[in-house]
Chain A
Amino acid sequence: MSEAVIEYIGGPLLRARTEGPFGLYESVAIGEERLLGEVVRLDGDHITVQVYEDTTGLAPGRRLAGTGRPLSIPLGPGVLGGMYDGLLRPLDGFDSPFIPRGSFRERDQAYRFTPSVAVGERLSPGAVLGAAEREGAMDQQVLLPPDVDGEVVEIAPAGEYREAEVICRIENARGERREVAARQDWPVRIARPLARRLPVDEPLITGQRVIDSLFPVGLGGKAAVPGGFGTGKTVLLETLARWCSADVIIYVGCGERGNELTGMLEEFPGLVDPRSGRSLMERTVIIANTSNMPVAAREASIYTAVTLAEYYRDQGLHVALMADSTSRWAEALREISGRLGELPGEAGYPAYLSSRLADFYERAAKGETLAGKVGSVTVMGTVSPPAGDFSEPVTSHTKRYVRSFWALDARRAQARMYPAINPLQSYAEETSRLAAWWQARGNSDWPRLRRATLELLEEQTRLERMARIIGKDALPFGQQMRLLAAELLNDAFLRQSAFSENDRYASPERQTVMLRLLIRFADLAQQAVARGVTPAEITGLRIYRRLQRMGEDLPPDDLAAYQALGEDMERELQALAEEVTA
């Protein structure tokens, strides 16, 4: 392989004089410690390399060696359930509490292989070779790499293997033999192929009412969560990671806080996936590049994550990818671009920010895999706009590529109204395609309920504006009641406590009955007011407080309790109206 001599180092970048050919995006090993780097620019006999570790202690004159391959990550059955850095290098197994340089080791986990093909069988690319089981991870499969096909000449019998061990030999039509192990490298900047893409026509169920009922994200869709600091982006994303209906969760902490990732790592093994009954950690991969870890690895980490997501998708699984935060990733891009001396664009970001964001979000998909199964990658990314200003470049470019936009609002967060998703600034574009799914779940009037909810919330803003001018008491009773009904909707439906055992997850069925109750309450209260009841009499009813607290007070699966609540509501309001007319 080619070698080069370092001439200059500045932060995460270095420049070197080459002594042979290098390719763009080729990965290199630097110095005696063999630090990992990637060629990002070719210029005559010089290359510029971004280094994925701290460059302290490197000096001009040291050598680096090319590997002849683009920057790749080792996929395999050993990944699930662990925590890795931005290049999928395991973070466990160190003695020191700190991350020393150049001391990462290669992952080579043991797993149990059960073949499902036989010698002589002809396989197409991406075909299933067998099942892989491992303690501490959900069951997976071993696939043929997407660029290998042919006839099986040898297949390992069922048994314990290490990931790097060859388990299959295959010969293609031209007579070339390939050895296949469970651990397979794939370049992070290249999307893994699908047989064909499928339309996004069912929602990813998150258990969060404001998302599922109002602003759903499709399975294979993409969503952005913008919000200033303290608006609850990370808590929301972690809540989604906990409860959403995906088979596999990939959580990338990209330039964020170390404590938060540790929190997940401590908490997830103890949580039980409500569907499989197994530990949540068994279906989770955490990719950690905290804000104080090398900035170049932060840039690579979201490609690593999406490549890994595609690897599970190719096994016919539904994957949810959470990236927190894409702004930190964009800043890493900006920092590196600045050091490369590139012409800065808007707010100092490089001009290619938009196309890089597109590269990332466009890898979200639902599709038929090469092996003929259906899998998906749903991407959810947080955006941290400076000073909470959504007109900044990362937010505005992200908006062009996502289909669901969950705008977090500082005012809601300050009143501890979590999740602080502002219903008037948020949107979801795929709702018409998802109506059929809700209908199949017994909610044929989902589009109507959703519209009625949004209308009520919009009216609230209008009435509040009016009340600020003339005073709330000067509004007619009818409008005062609309305001109260909207407040109730905010309090009882949009607000959802992540810390209450009853409230933290709401099934689609429960969301439906809750929303029906509240919309029905708005109508009934309106009718009662029309008959002469005052709004204060209605809020004084016991049912009002019971509705306010139903999410936290009623057990999650007891739909009959909601039924009873609805009956009480009808009765109490009816009685009140009769009292007044009598």
Chain B
Amino acid sequence: MSHGITSLRSRIYLEGAAERLEGPLLFLKRLAEVTLNEAVYVEDASGRQRLGRIASIDEAHMTVEVLEATMGLNLEEIRLNLTGRPLEFGVGPGLLGRIFNGVGEVIDGGPPVAARRQLAIGGLPVNPVQRETPRDFIETGVSTVDIMNSLVRGQKLPLFSGGGLPHDRLAADIAVNARLRQSDEDFAIVFVGIGLPYDSAEYFRHRLEESGALERTVLFLNLASDSSTQRLLTPRYALTAAEYLAFEEGMHVLVIITDMTNYCEALREVSSSLGEIPSRKGYPGYMYSDLATLYERAGRVHGRAGTLTQLPILTMPADDIGHPIPDLTGYITEGQIVLDRELDRQGLYPPVKVLPSLSRLMKDGTGGDYTHPDHPALANQLYAAYARAQQARLLASVVGDDGLAEEDRQFLAFARRFEHDYVAQAERRSLEASMALGWELLRELPRTALNRLSDAQIAQYIDGEGG
């Protein structure tokens, strides 16, 4: 066996250094100067190149994460091609309307994208001093989101779902329906599928193409059959594209990522192959920091016109909101939208469970400047009334409906209508329609129970002088 270093067209080749191959991880002797996170190509005897990155180094050894299937690689024949640069993605305005795989390669049969710049996919932390607070509204067409948990430009608002719930449909609906209130501004969607089954990937592609939304969309599809190391990079390629569109092209970009649970599973898998000490439920101790490097890439930046909003979707294992994946996500993101199995079983779509749902930045995207001056009070009152109705429901489950006081019965009726007519919706609702329907529901409650509304609001909307 011979080994050596050759330099070819300013690239360095390393031969005979491979010592061990375990799943996607390649362990090699460190025969050349490399740096952490450097991009490499792993080449086999046939000359096929597989993308990888340097995951760890010490004085004598290094580990490469191979981003494509490692089947058939042979330790004797491996040549490592060192690029001397971190993983990069070529971005340009031609990204829109295109479809990529999980490592940024065009898969729609079209020509490659004309790259205006090569950007490192890892990104850099945005300086908090250079950030601007998220402001202004994105209309999703879903009442429980728009009115009660508003999505604000620059926010990261995840959707907590469960296996078998219609999050794919909701994700596609939002991708198709989302709009800015002032329609003349540039709006784009970056849609990221991580570890998708083939049919889901086709579903998204089909929905976007059919509705014509693909034109304003950049689609990244990492399939369940792709290597797990690739999943760790897919959102990074996508966010690099989104950052470019937002901060260089000045667009308002909504990034929809599904499913973050697959990302976290890949993180656990790779961490365990690296022999790292596991933390909660076998996930690595740095999962919080790692997720933060993705979620924190949402935001607005001083002096740049665009915004980057994230709507990541995750499925809670066993519907457990305390599971590390939703738990750590919830601590980083600015709220969450929770889907509910019970509502889904009743055939209500979208099955948004409003009580545990929350948009922390709601105050920065609603009210007179962005939506309507009475929007916050309406949302507040709907929440309070529905929470109160849940108490009545609990009571009714013990003493029966007949054992309830009149007021409690009114709240029960409210909850039923709220779920069937407000939470559930067959098609997109404009903000105005959602608000009008909200006031209508509140009219059925006793005036004394409307303590989150001012007298003026009651007079206008409830007693109907101007509502």
Binding site for B on A (CB under 8 A): 7-11, 55-61, 83, 91-92, 94, 96-100, 228-230, 234-235, 253, 255, 257-259, 261-263, 265-266, 288, 290-293, 295, 328, 331, 334-335, 338, 341, 344, 347-348, 384, 386-389, 410, 413-416, 467-474, 491, 499, 539-540, 544-545, 548-549, 552-553
B286 with A295: CB separation less than 8 A = yes
Q: B132 to chain A: closest CB distance in Å?
A: 6
Contact of A291 among B289, B387, B448 (CB under 8 A): B289
B395 and A229 form a contact (CB under 8 A): no
Q: Is the CB of A9 within 8 A of B129?
A: no
Using CB atoms, name the residue of chain A closest to B86.
Answer: A56
Task: Report yes or no: B122 in contact with A347, Cβ–Cβ below 8 A.
Answer: no
Complex alpha-carbon distance, A346 and B77, angstroms: 46
Inside 8 A of A261's CB, which chain B residues have their CB? Answer: 128
Q: Could you tell me if A338 and B285 are in contact, using CB atoms closer than 8 angstroms?
A: yes
Contacting residues, chain B, for A467 (C-beta < 8 A): 395
CA A499 to CA B362, docked complex, whole Å: 12
Q: Which of A229, A293, A470 contacts B331 (CB 8 A)?
A: A229
- With A98-B127, A259-B361, A266-B133 known as contacts, the answer to whether A290 contacts B59 (CB < 8 A) is no
A57 touches B395 (CB 8 A): no
Cβ-defined contact, B126 with A499, below 8 A: no
> Which of B133, B321, B380 is most buried by chain A, counting CB atoms within 10 A of its CB?
B133
Knowing that A255-B288, A387-B322 touch, tell me 8 more A-B residue pairs with CB under 8 angstroms: A60-B59, A96-B130, A97-B126, A255-B289, A348-B277, A386-B322, A472-B405, A499-B376
Cα distance A134–B127 in the bound complex, in angstroms: 25
Q: Within the complex, which residue of A60, A94, A291, A347 is in contact with B127, where a contact is CB–CB below 8 Å? A: A94
Is B356 on the interface with A (CB-CB < 8 A)? yes
Interface readout for B303-336 with A: 1 if CB under 8 Å, 0 if not? 0100000000000000001111001001110111
- Alpha-carbon gap, A292 to B294, bound state (A): 8
Which chain B residue shows the least CB distance to A266? B133
Contact of A257 with B403 in the complex, beta carbons under 8 Å: no
Report whether A92 and B355 are in contact in the complex, using a CB–CB cutoff of 8 Å.
Answer: no
| Least CB distance, A178 to chain B, in whole angstroms | 35
How far apart are A470's CB and chain B's nearest CB, in angstroms?
7
B304 cross-chain contacts in A, Cβ below 8 A: 97
Q: Which of A55, A266, A290, A468 contacts B296 (CB 8 A)?
A: A290
Which of A56, A230, A234 gathers most chain B CB within 10 Å?
Answer: A230
Say which residue of B301, B356, B383, B448 sits within 8 Å of A97 (CB atoms). B301
- Identify the closest chain A residue to B55 (Cβ): A10
User: When A and B form their complex, which 8 residue pairs have the shortest distance between CB atoms, in order from nearest?
Assistant: A387-B322, A291-B292, A415-B387, A98-B124, A229-B330, A471-B399, A8-B58, A262-B131
Quote the shortest CB–CB distance from B366 to chain A (angstroms). 11
How many angstroms between the C-alpha atoms of A384 and B331 in the bound complex?
A: 8
Are B288 and A331 touching (Cβ within 8 A)? yes
B280: interface (CB < 8 Å): yes
> Which residues of chain B in 318-369 are interfacial with respect to chain A, using CB atoms and an 8 Å cutoff?
321-324, 327, 330-332, 334-336, 355-356, 358, 360-361, 363-364
B33: chain A residues at CB < 8 Å are: 59, 61
**B277, B334, B408: which contacts A257 (Cβ < 8 A)?**
B334
Using CB atoms and an 8 Å cutoff, list the residues of chain B in contact with chain A.
Answer: 30, 33-37, 56-59, 86, 122-134, 154-155, 247, 276-277, 279-280, 285-286, 288-289, 292-293, 295-299, 301-302, 304, 321-324, 327, 330-332, 334-336, 355-356, 358, 360-361, 363-364, 376, 380, 383-384, 387-388, 394-395, 398-399, 403-405, 408, 448, 451-452, 454
* Contact present for A290 and B128 (CB under 8 Å): yes
Taken together as a complex, chains A and B put the C-alpha atoms of A81 and B277 apart, in Å, by 41
Beyond A386-B322, A468-B395, whether A60 also contacts B57 by CB under 8 A is yes
Q: Is B404 touching A97 in the complex (CB atoms < 8 A)? A: no
Is A335's CB under 8 angstroms from B363's CB?
no
Taken together as a complex, chains A and B put the C-alpha atoms of A391 and B24 apart, in Å, by 39
| Chain B neighbourhood of A384, CB < 8 A | 331
B35 partner, pick from A57, A230, A545, beta carbons under 8 A: A57
Give A419 to B332 CA distance when docked, in angstroms: 20
Residue of B nearest to A416 (CB): B383
Give Cα A224 to B152, complex, Å.
Answer: 30
Q: Are A468 and B394 in contact (CB under 8 A)?
A: yes
- The complex places the Cα of A499 from the Cα of B377 at a distance, in Å, of 11
Instruction: Give the shortest distance, in Å, between B306 (CB) and chain A (any CB).
Output: 12
Q: Is the CB of B288 within 8 A of A94?
A: no
Q: Which residues of B contact A552 (CB under 8 A)?
A: 454
Is B363 touching A499 in the complex (CB atoms < 8 A)? yes
| Contact present for B322 and A388 (CB under 8 Å) | yes
In whole angstroms, what is the CA distance A539 to B451 when docked? 12
Which residue of chain A has its CB nearest to the CB of B403?
A471
Which of A56, A491, A552 is the most central at the interface, judged by chain B CB atoms within 10 Å of its CB? Answer: A56
Q: Identify which of A60, A291, A413, A499 gathers the most chain B CB atoms within 10 Å of its CB.
A: A291
Ordered by A's residue number, 29 sampled pairs between the chains whose C-beta atoms are within 8 Å are A61-B33, A83-B129, A98-B126, A234-B360, A235-B360, A258-B125, A258-B126, A258-B296, A258-B299, A266-B133, A290-B296, A291-B288, A291-B296, A292-B125, A328-B288, A334-B279, A338-B276, A338-B285, A348-B277, A348-B279, A384-B331, A386-B327, A388-B322, A414-B383, A414-B387, A467-B395, A468-B394, A469-B398, A549-B451
- In the bound complex, residues from chain A placing their C-beta under 8 Å from that of B332 are 257, 291
B131 to A334, Cβ gap below 8 A? no
B129 partner, pick from A265, A347, A413, A472, beta carbons under 8 A: A265
Residue of B nearest to A344 (CB): B277
In the complex formed, the residue of B with least CB distance to A548 is B451
Q: In the docked arrangement, what's the CA distance between A257 and B298, Å?
A: 10
Tell me which residues across on chain A come within 8 A of B132, comparing CB atoms: 262, 266
- Other-chain contact of B58, A7, A265, A389 (Cβ < 8 Å): A7
Distance to closest chain B CB from A14 (angstroms): 10
CB-defined contacts of B448 to chain A, threshold 8 Å: 539-540, 544-545
Asked if A389 meets B405 with Cβ closer than 8 Å, knowing A97-B126, A293-B125, A545-B448, the reply is: no
Q: Which of B155, B335, B364, B404 contacts A230 (CB 8 A)?
A: B335
User: Taking A94-B130, A468-B395 as contacts, is the C-beta distance between A545 and B322 under 8 angstroms?
Assistant: no
Question: For B123, what are the chain A residues with a Cβ–Cβ distance below 8 Å?
Answer: 98
